[in-house]
Amino acid sequence: MEVIIQSTPAAAAELLVRLIAHDLRANPQLVLGLATGRTMERVYDRLAQMHRECGLSFAGARTFNLDEYVGLPATDPHSYHRYMQEHLFRHVNVDLRNTHLPQGDASDLAAECHRYENLIRKCGGIDLQLLGIGQTGHIGFNEPLSALHSRTRVKALSPVTIAQNSSLFADPSKMPRRAITMGVGTILEARRVLLLATGAGKAEIVAKAVEGPITSMISASALQMHAHCTVIVDEAAAAKLQGQDYYRWIFANEPEWEPYRSAS
Ligand code: GLP
């Protein structure tokens, strides 16, 4: 795992965008794993801008979102289907037939989870997976005690997550209590993982996920087992990391990061 500390949330998002753009240009058929949440909004805004102004093309890309709320149809304004339409898909040239999210309103949820896993496999697996992190340390909606080998399945949302996300619902009491989410094992199979976390509110959980023990109580800690995972944080989210100086030294000195230093 690598940790990159950037000065501001905007600089952190910018670095993530540059890494995505690099991979998309190198492989126009990239299979991109997408995340939702407030942190990602800035990333999608910038990707849309790069599409408009620099010709960044999503024409050949295939996308798989991490999760969707159980019970919400794609048309629901609170669904992640709608989030992706609003924040990314309608602003870029992705072929909507190549964009995939779990169907939260499927009548047979177990079959839907199975279908989703198979579809990822059929597309050759995820090349680049974007992640945020929730207050419980969840990636996707892998709440505490998610098995480290878990696959796409229905997960009950924790009270902490319900408190974190219900403010995004017009009527917070209507927030679904369950979601379909890729499993921790599904996420760990992505060839590369990029996690973005910004703001002081994420400092404690980032430190636990990155420097604490690997535990199913904090799903993001499983990323320590991934061979190619980069955690990008701003100063505020980095504040509780013990190894800050070391992480900064690596970013400032290792040749692979040379093209990306000007974003900081
Ligand atoms: C939701 C998503 C997660 C995401 C989290 C972060 O819970 N299911 O995948 O990591 O939001 O949210 P935010 O960026 O709003 O802090």
Closest-CA residue to 88 (of 35, 44, 23, 41): 44
Average pLDDT for the chain: 97
Does 199 contact ligand 1 (Cβ within 6 A)? no
**Residue ranges making up the domain that contains 188:** 2-263
What is the DSSP annotation of 74-118? TTSTTSHHHHHHHHTGGGS---GGGEE---TT-SSHHHHHHHHHH
Q: Is 254 exposed, middle or buried (0-12, 13-18, 19+ CB in 10 A)?
A: exposed
pLDDT of residue 160: 94
Q: How many domains does the chain have?
A: 1
CATH code for the domain in which residue 93 is found: 3.40.50.1360
- Give the closest residue (by CA) to ligand 1 atom 4: 132
Does 129 contact ligand 1 (Cβ within 6 A)? no
Structure confidence by residue, pLDDT tens digits, 191-241: 999 999 999 999 999 999 999 999 999 999 999 999 999 999 999 999 999
Q: 138, 157, 233: which to mutate for ligand 1, most atoms within 8 A of CB?
A: 138
pLDDT of residue 262: 78
253, containing H or E segment:
helix 244-253
Structure confidence by residue, pLDDT tens digits, 51-65: 999 999 999 999 999
pTM for the model stands at: 0.97
Task: Using the mean position of ligand 1's atoms as its centre, give its distance from the Cα of residue 35 in Å.
Answer: 7
pLDDT category of residue 263 using cuts at 50, 70 and 90: low
Contact 5, 235 (CB under 8 A): yes
Contact 141, 102 (CB under 8 A): no
pLDDT of 264 > 60? The answer is: no
Q: What is residue 124's three-state secondary structure?
A: coil
Structure confidence by residue, pLDDT tens digits, 127-165: 999 999 999 999 999 999 999 999 999 999 999 999 999
Residue ranges of alpha helices (H) inside 75-228 are 80-87, 109-122, 159-165, 184-188, 203-211
Q: What is residue 31's three-state secondary structure?
A: strand
Share of the chain above pLDDT 70, in %: 99
